[in-house]
Amino acid sequence: MTYVSGEIDPSQSLGGGSAARASTAPGSQVAAQVTAQVTAQVTFSHRELKRILDLYGRKVAAGEWRDYAIDFLKDRAVFSVFRRASEVPIYRIEKNPKLERRQGAYSVISATGLIVRRGHELDRVLRSIDVSLSLVVN
């Protein structure tokens, strides 16, 4: 299999070796760049992803949502929800650490680009799209 300049064999280990051996290995500069890029990405924590996927599972069971995509970018992490795979996302759940001290790191954005809710706590932000039916009794 041939690789374009700058690509690495996916089966190649990026860690586990000693620093001296890694620095003398061919392609170690590329491996260091890839490692730096991976650590620079914003990701969802296990707890955050579990909460988002719990909501996603309930909406799939209700027949409202059908597909999702996760993007880990340099400045934010995005969980996109689709009604059908060929459409634009209905909602985007974003985590942007740069906004953590101001409006809050979490936001829910609709398909039109309108920010539905923004806040410091993921649970509160997700409540804006997790509308459950309640029984009203007289």
Digit-coded pLDDT (tens) for 39-71: 578 888 899 999 999 999 999 998 889 999 999
> Who's near 7: CB < 8 A, 6+ residues apart?
30
pTM attached to this predicted model = 0.65
pLDDT for residue 19 is more than 70 = no
Q: What is the DSSP letter of 24?
A: H
Domains of the chain, by residue range, sit at 46-126
Torsion sign, CA atoms 47, 69, 107, 83: negative
Residue 59 makes CB contacts below 8 A (sequence gap 6+) with: 65, 81
Q: In this predicted structure, what is the pLDDT of residue 53?
A: 92
pLDDT band at residue 102 under the 50/70/90 scheme:
confident
Q: Which pLDDT belongs to residue 83?
A: 87
